[in-house]
Structure 1
Amino acid sequence: AGLYAAIALKRARSDLEIRVVEQNPADVTFGFGVVFSRQALTFLRKDDPQTADLIESHMKHWSDIAVIQAGQRITIDGIGFSGIGRLELLELLQYRAHALRIEPEYETLIDASSDLSGFDLVIGADGFNSSVRRAESLSFGEEITLLQNRFAWFGAEREFENLTQAFIGTPYGPMNTHHYAYAPGRATFIIEMGSDTFEASGFGQMREEQYRAECEMLFASTLDGTRLIANNSIWRQFPTLSCRHWFSGRRVLVGDALHTVHFSIGSGTRLALEDVIALVAALREHDWSLATALPAYQAVRQPIHEKIARAGDRSALWYESFGEHMRLEPWQFALSYIRRAGRIDAQRLRKIAPGFAADLEAQNIGFDS
């Protein structure tokens, strides 16, 4: 989001002097793939078709998702997603930035002690652990809560047919994996479990190579002989972050520095880029006056984000008790899964997933209530 903010600002005003600071080297990122919902980069195409074309040509697309429960694989049609490698996405944005004569400063750390007084505007796009936000946390009104489930992001050297959710019983308790391909021969593989299962597994006392090997055994049928790839693959609790105020003086936040949405609905990267687009639009519409542009940015974006955040919260709540849902028979479980965020009623389900709806009716499973 920070790199794209520089691109969007330079496209809006070529005379701006922009400094982009990144603490990591140019060719380093944590994580594996980025997933977008069915609309992929439609939101970006309207504002910046050149960048959208560049990114979409490198994406993998799939039209269905799969849910595996009690050894049964159920396909849910019409719920499409697109994926791309995190590093590849960064490289494409670096290419666009270079074309606009933007040269980021890599391996440069900005912290709470950094003097940022010489800048007209400071955009904090530095993620959940944002130094820009933490330097004035009271002014931004940050609120943080931790969910109870534990999860770790791995990669896998194989492709999967589509985005898949696999739920399994283990000697320690129920676990699940979210996995999807993002490049030829590469996939993201997220493993999640409840706090009780995590304690029983002993993963918290193991070294990374130990719990990675154990997870390979537990998910052997899903991995099909492929090994997991680690990249800062530590066990985490998802942090839900919100801020009452999106700006403070000359500082303004975007993306995960401002708000987090549970990864199960695949909207984090999109929200961050949309924040940037809305911020730059507000600056242009208000003749680059921070006094009116920054409040306008929050006024426009906050209701949109809150709607998505509510869906993310409902989805996260479902995952927090997914072991209880696993008591359902597979088709009932799949229906519970697809409705977890509260956005799909019977009419919409028939429209977007007619094959799955027909399969449910063939199983005499009603979904009109």
Structure 2
Amino acid sequence: MNVDSVAVLGGGPAGLYAARLLKLAHPAARVVVHEQSTPATTFGFGVAIAARTQRNLEAADPATLADVLASGRPHDMRMLVGDREARVHNGALIGIARPELLAILTRHARAAGVEIEHGSRVGVEDQDADLVIAADGVNSRTRTTLADELGAHVDVAGGLYLWAGVDVALDTAIFAPATTAHGTFVTHAYPYAEGRSTFLVETDEATWRAAGFDASTDETPLDASDTASLDYLSDAFADRLGGHRLIGNRTRWLRFRTVHCERWTHGNVVLLGDAAHTAHYSVGSGTKLAMEDAIALVRAVDAADDLPSALRSYEAERRPQVARLQELSRRSRLWWDSFPQRTHLPVDQLMVAYMTRTGNVDLTRFAGTSPDVVRRGLAAYAGTAVETLPDDLPAWVLDRPLDHGGRRWPGRLLDPAERERLSTPPGDTVGDLARVAVELDDPWSADGDALVKRLHDLAQRGWRGFWLTGPAARGAVLTRLDVGERLREETGALVVVEGPPDTLGDLAAGLVAGRTDLVCAG
């Protein structure tokens, strides 16, 4: 189909990239981007672009990608806990300054013939273009205006995070905790330019309040930075900053907001990027989703006979991909929210736990890129040196013996017949393993706390452990493993997690990551 006019609301990655691709595909169309800020007031530190996203950009627009890569900074990743370190290779992952990325996208959009109007605050009601693209970010005015039509809602997380920077390029990305008198803070930091790194810090609400950051947040104007927090965190992470101090840029504590819309289109209006959906920063998804939305939208417009068909096709293609990434990001956020309870793990085992936290990367895949880390992680798990990686990693993991509470298990995989012999539903009589069905979305929620307390009480009464069952869906199995991790750490009792045979890889990863003691595939 042809389009004669396109209005783009928002000059972020989604809007600028969609504008360029549409103009290239429809040279006769008038494509106008309306951005309320000006280049001089653009703020932000670095963003990350992973290898798979780069491949998608290469296929859609190699010229733009070439400039992005030329300005980006590739980096590996390290997990740092005290003086312990585990390093993995990230391949083609790069960091790039957000203002530089926007400058590149702006330059290429203009080169294609796109008109860009900065300093213009316009709404969807002001547009009469054939196609209106709402790429106006997480605070989308369009989504607010059309909230009922789009079925929009926003989930707000309980933990808090703060974006800062530092005037040094770190050698690698780092993940590191800092424990203070008020609690534990965790940083996700990575280099993005010469002499510059992003330094994101997160913590739980109790620690945030104990440090007085509820007050400093209230006292900080929206256009200023929370200097009290920046000073405190500069001291807390002094060993990671090497004498440098954190830099603010409208820096304040925030709670992550997950945006959901039942529909991304209404009439001739379509939402892209953060306006339509968000996913937690720990999976590096914001820029990825924005630019891949743009690619999919232009492809749908080119293939359809009319605009309604194009928008339906766009949404049908992108929804499953976005839903999957939002679920991965939800699990990742929950893992990071509970990170401090894992810092006792050997650092290579902790890195395995990190890489397998969402179920997106299994042991075998991780071993293919970081064999030394996995080998040392397996050694920590098995309590014995591992000189070379076994050919069948999951089978090797499941075959390790376990000594627990005076009992010895020849391997970690139990036959389903053992369920009835070893476990019973908890009742008045104390038995061996309490068989419990787990039906939770969030293992660290109030419901999760209540379940763990109930099972802790059973352990106090004399039950020797827990056999966790539940729905066969893979997501439910991953949640049981998370509950198992809590039970192991908080009760010291034996934990068995059950799942269907097709989740054996997840169960094996859960064993190495310290989420369970034994597993059953039945």
Specify the code of the residue in structure 2 equivalent to 1:234.
R
Q: Give the corresponding residue for 1:211.
A: 229
Q: Give the corresponding residue for 2:126.
A: 115
2:82 equivalent to 1:70: yes
2:16 equivalent to 1:3: yes
2:32 equivalent to 1:32: no
Specify the code of the residue in structure 2 equivalent to 1:300.
E
Cα offset, 1:55, TM superposition: 1.4
Q: Please identify the structure whose Cα radius of gyration is greater.
A: 2
Specify the code of the residue in structure 2 equivalent to 1:12.
A
Aligned residue pairs total 365
Summarize deviations over 1:234-288 as a string: whole Å, max 9, x none. Answer: 100000111110101111001000000100011210111000110011011003x
Contact 1:40 1:82 in 2 (8 A): no
2:252 equivalent to 1:240: no
Q: Give the corresponding residue for 1:251.
A: 269
Q: 1:355 to 1:38 in 2, by over 3 A?
A: farther
Summarize deviations over 1:6-42 as a string: whole Å, max 9, x none. Answer: 1011000001111210011123323200101233511
Indicate the larger mover: 231-240 or 31-40: 31-40
Residues of 1 paired with 2:359 and 2:347: CA distance? 20
Question: For residues 305-344 of structure 1, what are the structure 2 equivalents within 5 Å?
Answer: 305-344=322-361
Cα offset, 1:335, TM superposition: 2.1
Q: Give the corresponding residue for 1:140.
A: 150
Q: Give the corresponding residue for 1:354.
A: 371
Q: Give the corresponding residue for 2:241.
A: 223
Residues of 1 paired with 2:91 and 2:370: CA distance? 7
Residues of 1 paired with 2:43 and 2:257: CA distance? 17
Residues of 2 paired with 1:209 and 1:218: CA distance? 14
Specify the code of the residue in structure 1 equivalent to 2:207.
T
From 113, 116, 129, give the equivalent of 1:104: 116
Q: Give the corresponding residue for 1:155.
A: 165
Contact 2:356 2:363 in 1 (8 A): no
Contact 1:22 1:109 in 2 (8 A): yes
Contact 1:167 1:176 in 2 (8 A): yes
Contact 1:36 1:270 in 2 (8 A): yes
Q: Give the corresponding residue for 1:188.
A: 198
Normalising by structure 1, we get a TM-score of 0.95
Summarize deviations over 1:306-360 as a string: whole Å, max 9, x none. Answer: 1111111110111121122234343332222221121122221222221211222
SS where residue 39 of structure 1 aligns?
helix
Cα offset, 1:205, TM superposition: 1.0
Summarize deviations over 1:39-94 as a string: whole Å, max 9, x none. Answer: 351111101111111211111112x3101123312212356521111111111111
Residues of 1 paired with 2:112 and 2:92: CA distance? 33
Summarize deviations over 1:107-141 as a string: whole Å, max 9, x none. Answer: 111247x422x121111101011111111111111
From 6, 13, 17, give the equivalent of 2:30: 17
Cα offset, 1:103, TM superposition: 2.9
Instruction: Answer 1 or 2: higher relative contact order, Cα 8 Å, separation at least 6.
Output: 1
From 112, 134, 137, give the equivalent of 1:127: 137
Structure 1 residues not aligned, in runs of 5+: none
Q: Give the corresponding residue for 1:291.
A: 308
From 44, 65, 74, give the equivalent of 2:57: 44
Indicate the larger mover: 46-55 or 103-112: 103-112
Specify the code of the residue in structure 2 equivalent to 1:84.
I
Q: 1:53 to 1:95 in 2, by over 3 A?
A: same
Cα offset, 1:159, TM superposition: 0.8
Specify the code of the residue in structure 2 equivalent to 1:351.
G
SS where residue 274 of structure 2 aligns?
helix
Q: Give the corresponding residue for 2:106.
A: 94
Residues of 1 paired with 2:198 and 2:319: CA distance? 30
CA RMSD of aligned residues (A): 1.6
Q: Give the corresponding residue for 1:270.
A: 288
Specify the code of the residue in structure 2 equivalent to 1:115.
D
SS where residue 167 of structure 1 aligns?
strand
SS where residue 35 of structure 2 aligns?
coil
SS where residue 41 of structure 2 aligns?
coil
Summarize deviations over 1:189-231 as a string: whole Å, max 9, x none. Answer: 0011011110111012125122211111111111111111111
Specify the code of the residue in structure 2 equivalent to 1:67.
M
Residues of 1 paired with 2:34 and 2:249: CA distance? 23
SS where residue 184 of structure 2 aligns?
strand
Contact 2:48 2:95 in 1 (8 A): yes
Q: 1:245 to 1:40 in 2, by over 3 A?
A: closer
Residues of 2 paired with 1:236 and 1:325: CA distance? 24
Q: Percent same amino acid at aligned positions?
A: 34
Residues of 1 paired with 2:114 and 2:271: CA distance? 21
Residues of 2 paired with 1:252 and 1:259: CA distance? 12
Residues of 1 paired with 2:182 and 2:344: CA distance? 16
Residues of 2 paired with 1:108 and 1:137: CA distance? 23
Q: 1:188 to 1:194 in 2, by over 3 A?
A: same
SS where residue 151 of structure 1 aligns?
strand
Residues of 1 paired with 2:66 and 2:73: CA distance? 14
Q: 1:161 to 1:39 in 2, by over 3 A?
A: farther
Residues of 2 paired with 1:140 and 1:128: CA distance? 15
